[in-house]
Copies of this chain bind each other. A is one copy, B any other.
Amino acid sequence: MDNQLPSRLLEQAVIEFAKLPGIGKKTALRLVLHLLHQTKEDTFAFANSIIQMKEQVKTCRKCHNISEEEFCSICSDPKRDESLICVVESIKELLAIESTGQYRGLYHVLGGKISPMDGIGPKDLNIDSLEQRARNKHIAEIILALSTTMEGDTTNFYIYRKLNSIEIPLSTLARGISVGDELEYTDEITLGRSIINRVPYKGK
């Protein structure tokens, strides 16, 4: 791969593929050669699916989830509980929570976490629209489902301060030992928190 490839166009495609997260130059070459060797129809279908997605996929006006309409499939689903808003960092966390099948409320996609190191401030996130939604009388609770990192905690605290004037219950996800985890291998911070936040044992 240190050698020059026999075509500048091939090389360009490899460079583009290698920009994707987790794709190195070797993998990029393997993928590009695959695309080069399949039929024209298949390769164009691949490229066009990306162009179409980029051109037509928008974000939901309400929760900033990915959508092809003005409002996303979750916001426009009449069976969802409109009084609950779950605040997530990105669509990845939204999909992860959806796949549990345990949550039937709505979402609010922030589009990141406050991170001064990466130059991301509160103005870069969808916090103003969250505040507007929180002012709606229908809302009974806002669940902060950000990761337990410094950035996640900072963002949680910023939102808490921002929504302080509105009387609305805020909650975060329960932290504790993962289901199926061995106690001896659990890190001390998680174990410590799980002792402090212990729950009553109900005999089942």
Contacts and interface: CB of A to CB of B under 8 A. Distances in A.
Contact of A16 (B2, B34, B49, B56): B49
A3 B72 CA distance: 15
A138 B20 CA distance: 46
Contact of A12 (B22, B23, B52): B52
A30 B52 CA distance: 18
A16 B72 CA distance: 23
B54 A36 contact: yes
Contacts of A3: 95, 98-99
B36 A66 contact: yes
Interface size grouping (class) on chain A: 35 or more
Interface in A23-51: 23, 27, 29-36, 40, 42-51
Given A20-B34, A67-B7, A1 B57 contact: no
Given A21-B30, A30-B22, A10 B53 contact: yes
A46 to B, nearest CB: 5
A27 B52 CA distance: 20
Determine which residue in A17, A20, A33 has the highest number of CB atoms from chain B within 10 A of its CB, and name it: A20
A73 B19 contact: no
Contacts of A17: 46
Contacts of A16: 45-46, 49-50
A54 B33 contact: no
Interface of A: 1-10, 12-13, 15-17, 19-23, 27, 29-36, 40, 42-54, 56-57, 65-68, 72-74, 90-92, 95, 98-99
23 contacts: A1-B99, A2-B99, A4-B73, A6-B65, A6-B66, A6-B67, A9-B53, A9-B57, A10-B57, A12-B52, A13-B53, A16-B46, A16-B49, A16-B50, A20-B34, A21-B30, A21-B34, A33-B91, A36-B57, A43-B51, A46-B50, A47-B50, A47-B54
